[in-house]
Amino acid sequence: MSDTEERVKKIVVEHLGVEADKVTMDASFIDDLGADSLDIVELVMAFEEEFGVEIPDDAAEKITTVGDAVRYIEEHKG
Amino acid sequence: MRRVVVTGLGLVTPLGSDVETVWANILAGKSGAGPITHFDASEYKCRIACEVKPKDHEYGFDADKRVDTKVQRQVDPFIVFGIDAAGQAIEDAGLADMPEEMRLRAGCSIGSGIGGLPGIEKESLVLAEKGPGRVSPHFVHGRLINLISGQVSIKYGLMGPNHAVVTACSTGAHSIGDAARMIKDNDADIMLAGGAEATICPIGIAGFAQARALSTKFNDDPTRASRPYDVDRDGFVMGEGAGVVVLEEYEHAKARGAKIYAEVVGYGLSGDAYHVTAPHPEGSGAYRSMKMALAKAGVEPSEIDYINAHGTSTPLGDELELGAVRRLFGDAIATVSMSSTKSAIGHLLGGAGAVESIFCILALRDQIVPPTLNLDNPSESCADVDLVPHVAKKRKVKAVLNNSFGFGGTNASLVMKAVD
């Protein structure tokens, strides 16, 4: 597991209060992890803080799975 | 006429997080006061409060019992306390799992005096330091006063009235009174009613201290600070927590064989029309509120055995309330017991009226009245009244009166009786 993946998963577990083993790369925030649209806004903010990246709204809308977040961060972090 | 009874109780307080523990501690004369731990208060004029204890404490609060971890993260503590107290009450009433037709006729009226002040304070600092893009998307609905009712309604599927009172320190009593009316008016058969507060935060303590409302002379001896009617009282001690009752239409409760604690027989409410923080100098609002509640109940002052007073331990308020009771009760003042449980758990602000109504109900159940702690030397005008100093007192308790008064000159009184 990459460092980014590990840190993303940790944030997801903390914010959504879900079991760590449910937070797979394919897991959908809404369908699998019980998030609502505002939870995703909050997660994106937490990712921005953690990784020092900016995730614009139009990019954030396309992040629907844990893997989407990991890939976006890997591509954009400094 | 539809009658309203109490069939469930729930408490989160500085002296425990379930009804029986809290009541045992209250009757034992324990105090929930101590140095403030929620933040560093070393530079504050008031450095003490009655905090809800952490879960590893002998009578601490475990939020995980009834509140989803995600919700805990998103909302202010007053909502967490409120959800838990509501959960206790609905479980106690045996109504946690109601069929849909019952839930359509079940609602919530759980308010707060101030709401999510700690969260507003914290998020304002985030806004100032990090900008608008860092403000939590859960900021608004995690702080709003009606979001205890909102959360509880969602959690238990309650589709009846979804209401929340905001009347400062009389919120809890108004919530119960208003909800009882909703049942009387046939808007619902079941209502979860009460109040919650959690404002032991820097801006909360600073604000109340600046309003000269808090005790500041007992920072080194916190358990002695809340001392209603005592000559050395110098302000209230802030508490936190929640109280929620299940109110139910009498025939509905009887038909399902529910345990019935008490009947809400009278509700009075009034305005001082005088000053935003100071009580009316003749206690006229308090007098009219109590008088209305007794008249609605069809109960004479001589029939009231116990008054749970507003009695916050402020220099002005305690004696004005007692003066109003004296005028209303006349000779009956000699037979009533009146105490302030704020001496033990502090002032729960919007939660106070609900928590204290529950103490009244437990006094009816157990035929014992809780004490006023620290009443070493009653003020002259209080000396001839049974204020139940120091120790709980066994006595006949058939009818009780609860008073709650709030900033803005708002007053609420409830009369409750045992059901024969």
Q: Which residue has the tokens 């002259």?
A: B380
B4-262: CATH topology = Peroxisomal Thiolase; Chain A, domain 1 (3.40.47)
For residue B219, what pLDDT is reported? Answer: 98
Low-confidence ranges of chain B (pLDDT < 70): none
For residue A1, what pLDDT is reported? Answer: 80
For residue B420, what pLDDT is reported? Answer: 75
Measure the CA–CA gap between B281 and B277, rounded to whole angstroms: 12
pLDDT per position as a tens digit, A40-65: 999 999 999 999 999 999 999 999 99
Q: Is there a contact between B136 and A49 if contact means CB atoms under 8 Å apart? A: no
For helices B317-329 and B284-297, the axis angle rounded to 10 degrees is: 40
Residue type, B106: A
Measure the CA–CA gap between B161 and B179, rounded to whole angstroms: 9
The pTM of the full predicted model, rounded to 2 decimals, is 0.96
Contact of B7 with B261, CB cutoff 8 Å: yes
Measure the CA–CA gap between B226 and B310, rounded to whole angstroms: 13
Residue type, B358: I
* Chain A residue at shortest CA distance from B136: A42
Paired tokens of B76:
């202010």
DSSP B218-277: -TTSGGGT--TTBTT--SB-BB-EEEEEEEEEHHHHHHTT----EEEEEEEEEE--S-SS
Domain boundaries, chain B: 4-262, 269-417
For residue B66, what pLDDT is reported? Answer: 98
Mean pLDDT of all residues in A20-39: 94
ipTM here: 0.84
Q: Is there a contact between B69 and A17 if contact means CB atoms under 8 Å apart? A: yes
Measure the CA–CA gap between B79 and B244, rounded to whole angstroms: 12
Measure the CA–CA gap between B147 and B167, rounded to whole angstroms: 16
Domain boundaries, chain A: 3-76
CA distances from B408 to A31, B170, B271, B348 (A): 48, 10, 8, 17
Q: How many CA atoms lie within 13 A of B327 on its CB side?
A: 15
* Chain A residue at shortest CA distance from B141: A38
Contact of B285 with B218, CB cutoff 8 Å: no
- Homologous superfamily of the B269-417 domain (CATH): Thiolase/Chalcone synthase (3.40.47.10)
Assigned architecture for domain A3-76: Orthogonal Bundle (1.10)
Task: Please check whether the two domains, B4-262 and B269-417, share a CATH topology.
Answer: yes
B169 is catalytic: yes
Q: Which of B70, B73, B127 to mutate to test the interface with A (most CBs of A within 10 A)?
A: B70
Measure the CA–CA gap between B344 and B31, rounded to whole angstroms: 4
> Does residue A78 carry a pLDDT above 80?
no
Query: How close A62 gets to chain B, by Cα (Å)?
Result: 18
For residue A17, what pLDDT is reported? Answer: 87
Paired tokens of B332:
């009956």
Q: Which of B68, B73, B75, B141 to mutate to test the interface with A (most CBs of A within 10 A)?
A: B73
Among residues B50, B169, B201, B360, the one annotated as catalytic is: B169
